[in-house]
Structure 1
Amino acid sequence: MYSLKILILMLSLALSIFSACGEDKITAPETHELVGTWKAEKFTIYWGSISNPDSTFVYTFVNDLQFTITISDDNRWSAEIKYPDETQTDSGGWWVDGDTLTMYGAGDGDDVYEYSISGNKLTLTSSETKGGYTTFTVIEYTKQ
């Protein structure tokens, strides 16, 4: 009986030593490629189709208007629009499914975009159909 207690004590001691030894391996969560601050460079609207539009409107962001969006790894986003005489902000949440980015919290409903990243360039594309006519919006960003 005495030797059984010693054996159990020795096994417990050995287990505690081995479990206490060794380095804990903490794996950092994977950061999504969208995470970061992005400055809008160009905003384009295509009526009809992107490849063969009926008409196109292009706005290049210059000093009089700046639009920046920050996407955080906690699935939150914040945006800042700077006009010459005021600054507006907005925020919400986001998630990704494949190459589809959904952002919620701004305006009515969710904003859904197809996204692509090439180097430090982010392109968001959305479409809307009303009355059988489709409008495509493309926003191009540069990572800051």
Structure 2
Amino acid sequence: MSKRRRELYRDPKRGKLAGVCAGLSDYFDMELWLVRILFVTAVLLSGGPLFIVVYIACWFILDKKTETPQTPGTNSNYSSKDEDPVSVKFKVWQKGEPPRQALFDLKERLTRLDGRIQHMETYVTSSEYTVKREINKL
């Protein structure tokens, strides 16, 4: 199995100041709140200047995270949540959904899919579909 290549970026959209902690949370696959707490703790326990200088350096050195464009051929009716696999966190510090929330989300997705399939089945078995099919055969 090949692991996806991880790169360190800063994520200003999720960040409070410059997005350095948000980028670190993505890189290490940790919750953002935990990275912020670790950074603040490191600043307070070390006296501050070293970690503040490192943060400012990362602010200027790291590139901004770019948005991934939607690939052609994907249906715009689906939300990005439908396309992404559900990631379940097993430890508090990991990113992802708690198992109970993941099961709830999966149930919601399956309910929506079931409704769409029922709607398609209703249309295919309707007389309107039969008439259109016969007209197209002409």
TM-score range, shorter chain: under 0.3
Between the two structures, name the one with larger relative contact order (CA 8 Å, sep ≥ 6): 1
Choose between structure 1 and 2: higher strand proportion.
Answer: 1
Normalising by structure 1, report the TM-score.
Answer: 0.22
More helix, by proportion = 2
